[in-house]
Chain A
Amino acid sequence: MRGDKLFLFLVSFFALLIVLLFVLFFHQLLCNSIPTWKRFGLSFVFGKSWNPLRNDFGALPFLYGTILTSTLSLLISVVLSLGIAVFLSEMAPPRLRDVLSSLIELIAAIPSVIIGLWGIFYVAPFVRDHLQYWLEPLSFIPLFSGRSLTGLSMLTAIIILTFMITPIISSIMKESLMMVPEDLKEALYSLGARRYEVMMKVCIPYAKVGILGGVILGYGRAVGETMAVTMVIGNSPVISASLLSPGYTMAAVIANEFTEATGDLHLSSLIAVAFILLVVSLSMNLIGRVVIWKWQKQSL
């Protein structure tokens, strides 16, 4: 029996390690960002200017960039993911569904830095040389005004981000849709309804909780995405209404400035940004998982 007690002690120790690491995680981030909180207080979160040379730090440009790029890419991705999910769950024969699902999952497996590489050499030039001209008729809307010289802009980041979060959102949507009971659909079809009607009237409402969970999780992923975004967004801490101007996200500024931080306040401010980023993306993650858990309970 002694062997059993020792073994339990061993595995408990490692489990405890995880709890400790988590506590340490928050602790380190908070403590090392204290200089910033002391200096600016909570107004750091809404501070508009980020100027390392003048020791003036505010996180708003990055919050703005993160939220704008994540939200817009989420909206586009939801539209795309829905189409993909419907196709895979309703229109594709099982073999094709498996192949296509695997392909889409493969997108999520591609390292973010490789997508960023592709973004720099293909998507940014595409935006610079073509897309921004196609959008010219809409330039009366502030969102599409202005011009990008390099193609490194928030619009490019949004395109990349959309592509990267579509796999997770579409796969959860697909699973949710596949859980709709066959007889519900059949009832409507037998009344002469068309596929889009069955989708809109029955399937999507039925699966809406699961779909919502997937969306929230996808949003959490978008918020935390670092490399691909930082390689194409232009990295300029300016709050601009136009998508064609460069921007900055919380993850990107940490990636760019951390190793060259000029002074303690700069570093502590970056760590403060990291803390904010952690809180935002963990909350999204938690909320998403609670929603999905509720969906799983509902479908039992």
Chain B
Amino acid sequence: MEMAKTKLIKDKIFTIYCFISLSFAILPLIHIVGTTLVRGIKAVSLEFFISLPKPPGEVGGGIANAIEGSIILAALTMSFSIPVGILTAIYLSEYQDNWFRNLVRLLSDTFAGTPSIVAGVFAYSLIVRKFGFSAIAGAFALSILAIPTIVRSSEEALKLVPIDVREAGLSLGAEKWKVITKIVIRAARPGIITGILLALARIMGETAPLLFTAFGNPEFVRSPFEPVSALPLVIYVYATSPYPDWHQKAWGAALILMLMVLAINLAVKYKLRR
């Protein structure tokens, strides 16, 4: 009887421990989202969205440069990463495996694990050293992170397409490359788009690779060869600055960034559920 009672108590303690663990994860999450909402809203105004920043210490201005920069970086990164990613995924899934394909797959997955700051160092030594800070350098660093994601999710999506879809396409008298591009890709389209969206959400939130590639810019940019700002960059710079006005703007930028990232993630989850 004694042992049974001890066991009951132990079990209750175990259950309580599980609950507490869960709350240590969920409660901070709610707090982060909540404070970002509450403090971010205070910073947001029309001026916030459309004006450029004022010099350090001065109150007012906005983060239009960062919004423009984030869009430019996302566009550049995706236009490079999507073709490379999808074509590589096709290479891996539509042809027979051999040692080279396995190597490519391994390297791509390994790239996926590289710390984002090191991707920035790579982009720096390859591009910034010769051409200076630029959006292109930033996009290159971000691509190192985006491509493996797109390769992996696209390859999975392609592999999910049943073999007889390909056979049916070939039996219509079409060449293999046409079957791949017009039929198989179409069939795998939802999975491929999901992978692209997730990669997009990830790179929009990345800061470290941009610190010494895109570098930041208080003005609007006219060409991708200039340094450019981005939402995560201004959050970092403003949050670590001594100016309360900038702190508030950091929260505002965080709100915008968080909403964008969460929106993409939720859209993907909703799509997957169908």
Contact = CB atoms under 8 A, between A and B. Distances in A.
Q: A and B from one assembly?
A: yes
Given A15-B91, A110-B261, A122 B18 contact: no
A196 B254 CA distance: 41
Contact of B26 (A100, A116, A194): A100
Interface in B9-61: 10-11, 14-15, 17-22, 24-26, 28-29, 31-32, 35-36
Contacts of B176: 4, 7
Nearest to B103: A19
Nearest to A256: B211
B103 A104 contact: no
Contacts of B107: 18-19, 22
B225 interface: no
A182 to B, nearest CB: 20
A118 B36 contact: yes
A104 B111 CA distance: 25
Nearest to B255: A114
Given A114-B235, A120-B239, A14 B36 contact: no
B122 A29 contact: yes
Interface in B169-206: 175-178, 180-181, 201, 204-206
Given A220-B113, A282-B110, A285-B113, A1 B175 contact: yes
A111 B95 contact: no
Nearest to A25: B122
B25 A122 contact: no
A170 B83 CA distance: 34
Interface in B90-148: 90-92, 94-95, 100-101, 103-104, 107-111, 113-118, 121-122, 124-126, 144, 147
27 contacts: A7-B177, A8-B95, A10-B87, A11-B87, A11-B94, A18-B88, A18-B147, A24-B122, A32-B125, A80-B25, A81-B21, A83-B20, A87-B21, A110-B261, A111-B232, A111-B261, A113-B207, A113-B235, A114-B32, A114-B205, A117-B250, A223-B115, A224-B118, A251-B208, A258-B211, A282-B110, A284-B113
Interface of B: 7-8, 10-11, 14-15, 17-22, 24-26, 28-29, 31-32, 35-36, 83-84, 87-88, 90-92, 94-95, 100-101, 103-104, 107-111, 113-118, 121-122, 124-126, 144, 147, 151, 175-178, 180-181, 201, 204-208, 211-212, 215, 232, 235-236, 239-240, 247, 250-251, 254, 257-258, 261-262, 265, 269
Interface of A: 1, 3-4, 6-8, 10-12, 14-15, 17-19, 21-22, 24-25, 28-29, 32, 79-84, 86-87, 91, 100, 102-104, 106-107, 109-118, 120-122, 163, 166-167, 170, 194-197, 199, 220, 223-227, 231, 251, 254-255, 258-259, 270-271, 274, 277-278, 281-282, 284-286, 289
